[in-house]
Chain A
Amino acid sequence: NAGVTQTPKFRILKIGQSMTLQCTQDMNHNYMYWYRQDPGMGLKLIYYSVGAGITDKGEVPNGYNVSRSTTEDFPLRLELAAPSQTSVYFCASSLESPQHFGDGTRLSIL
């Protein structure tokens, strides 16, 4: 059982670069989420999706974009990386509750 798979696990970016964090799930869940976790803080919701073609903003969406073309995949895009986006990013999926989490992508912007 793969569950929720995130790639890459680690990445270092330069300020102004762009990248896409990949997330895929094999549980046929309708709901998918992107969170960021900063040291000493709880997870903050960036974007979520209730199904293919439907996405909405969470608490901290600025600087990010998402798309959901299939049930399985929910990529997160950073267009112009900024130091404030240094964080650990988690993707999750669910039917209702509980949410199932990937192992995260640790991203550093230098």
Chain B
Amino acid sequence: KQEVTQIPAAPSVPEGENLVLNCSFTDSAIYNLQWFRQDPGKGLTSLLLIQSSQREQTSGRLNASLDKSSGRSTLYIAASQPGDSATYLCAVYTGGFKTIFGAGTRLFVKA
């Protein structure tokens, strides 16, 4: 059974630091992996999607990597800003309309 694990809370960090958020999954048979951002009281916003054949994706200050063989993905946030404060979720798509979500990592960036 596929399980997705994220460290539930990240320490609050000062503005400007580079950050790494981790996601691990137990079964390497995935079609893709997504990173989402969730603001309080809001839905999920897709940040990056990595297909199973890809190693990484980049969008602005965000870079996500995927290592299927080890069941790991990292989301790298460069030069963090207070506006980056949110909960970040990763999710793996295993086919058959099954997307398995992690519980999320709550991030707080101090000004």
Residues of A within 8 A of B (CB): 4, 31, 33, 40-45, 48, 50, 56, 58, 90, 92, 97-104, 106
Distance in angstroms from A21 CB to nearest chain B CB is 14
Instruction: Report the 5 A-B pairs with minimum CB-CB distance, sorted nearest first.
Output: A42-B101, A101-B43, A98-B46, A43-B101, A101-B44
A42 and B43 in contact, given A48-B97, A97-B93 (Cβ under 8 angstroms): no
Determine whether the beta carbon of A97 is less than 8 Å from that of B43: no
Distance in angstroms from A66 CB to nearest chain B CB is 13
Determine whether the beta carbon of B34 is less than 8 Å from that of A42: no
A90 and B101 in contact, given A97-B34, A97-B93 (Cβ under 8 angstroms): no
Q: Measured between alpha carbons, how far is A98 from B41 in the docked complex, in Å?
A: 21
Residues of B within 8 A of A (CB): 4, 8, 32, 34, 41-46, 49, 89, 91, 93, 97-104
Q: Measured between alpha carbons, how far is A105 from B74 in the docked complex, in Å?
A: 30
- Name the B residues within 8 Å of A42 (CB-CB): 4, 89, 91, 100-104
A101 and B104 in contact, given A40-B8, A45-B98, A45-B99 (Cβ under 8 angstroms): no
Q: Measured between alpha carbons, how far is A33 from B98 in the docked complex, in Å?
A: 10
A90 and B44 in contact, given A97-B34, A98-B49 (Cβ under 8 angstroms): yes
Distance in angstroms from A97 CB to nearest chain B CB is 6
Determine whether the beta carbon of B104 is less than 8 Å from that of A103: no
- Name the A residues within 8 Å of B99 (CB-CB): 43, 45, 99
A103 and B42 in contact, given A40-B8, A97-B93 (Cβ under 8 angstroms): yes
A31 and B97 in contact, given A42-B89, A42-B102, A98-B34 (Cβ under 8 angstroms): yes
Residue of B32, B34, B99 most packed against chain A (CB within 10 A)? B99
Distance in angstroms from B68 CB to nearest chain A CB is 16
